[in-house]
Amino acid sequence: MGTPPLRVLIVDDEPLARARLRTLLQADPTVVVAGEAADGEAALAACRSQPPDLVLLDIAMPGMDGLQTARALAECQPRPAVVFCTAYDAHALSAFEAEALDYLVKPVRAERLAAALARVRTFLAGRAAPAADAPGARRHLTARLRGSLRLIPIEEVHYLQAEEKYVVVHHARGEDLIEEPLKALEAEFAGRFVRIHRNCLVARAQLAELRRTADGHVQAVLRDVPRPLDVSRRCLGPLRELLQPR
């Protein structure tokens, strides 16, 4: 049996915008348009009745806007992937804080949409196979440097830390900035990295110990990083289990 099609819900208050996205999606035989909605409330109802894999979500909508809708979708089980489609690029930071996998500016180009769909498939594959890197996962991250590209081997990455709309990649040769959501990286490389904080993923192989500070906070000590990193209370349980001797 082949891979099931990607089920996509289109959410936009403008009929022409929905029609354009529908046309682009229907050109891809691996995609099924699971439905359309003109506002956030209708989108949530559609997701509850027939959960999609992906929601293509406008931001500026009457009533519940796209950012509010994305936060509500985060409570759905299973949680759909979210990609924002908007006429403005001013909401990019807020979009990634809402854990969107990508951010498309209207009019959406076919090649840009295809790249977003590929990222969504990687995210879904990573969620389905948490014990190892997702099938087809990259072996490098790519940082842009003054018009050139730098490839960072995944095995050289010590930890990934979100800062505003960027992720700082701390690796064996220094650090670089990439423009990818931390949530998407966590899904794609689920077998290699573990979350220690809302804004930080650490390479599992780098974890040496957990240490409690004098003021009661817990920090993760990494093998090749001189300073320890803060651990959130929410992440503490899974980290302790990970460090238990087998």
Nearest to 229 by CA among 185, 181, 193: 193
The pLDDT of residue 127 is 59
User: Which span out of 27-41, 180-194, 198-212 was modeled with the highest average pLDDT?
Assistant: 27-41
Question: Is there a cis peptide before residue 78, judged by omega within 30 degrees of 0?
Answer: yes
Residue pLDDT, tens place only, 91-110: 555 655 666 778 888 999 99
Task: Judge whether residue 211 has pLDDT over 80.
Answer: yes
Over residues 26-35, the mean pLDDT reads 96
The pLDDT of residue 130 is 45
Measured CA to CA, the distance from residue 87 to residue 193 in angstroms comes to 34
- Class of the 140-243 domain? mainly beta
Over residues 24-47, the mean pLDDT reads 96
The pLDDT of residue 95 is 58
- Class of the 6-128 domain? alpha beta
The pLDDT of residue 133 is 59
Measured CA to CA, the distance from residue 6 to residue 169 in angstroms comes to 30
Identify the residue with better confidence: 103 or 217.
217
Per DSSP, 133 falls in state P
Q: How far is CA 103 from CA 56, 129, 145, 219, 222, in A?
A: 10, 25, 22, 33, 33
The pLDDT of residue 1 is 44
121 phi and psi, to 5 degrees? -60, -40
At 25, the pLDDT band (50, 70, 90 cuts) reads: very high
Measured CA to CA, the distance from residue 141 to residue 171 in angstroms comes to 11
Task: Judge whether residue 149 has pLDDT over 60.
Answer: yes
Domain ranges of the chain: 6-128, 140-243
Q: Is 97 exposed, middle or buried (0-12, 13-18, 19+ CB in 10 A)?
A: middle
Q: Is 202 exposed, middle or buried (0-12, 13-18, 19+ CB in 10 A)?
A: buried
Structural tokens at position 35? 């439905």
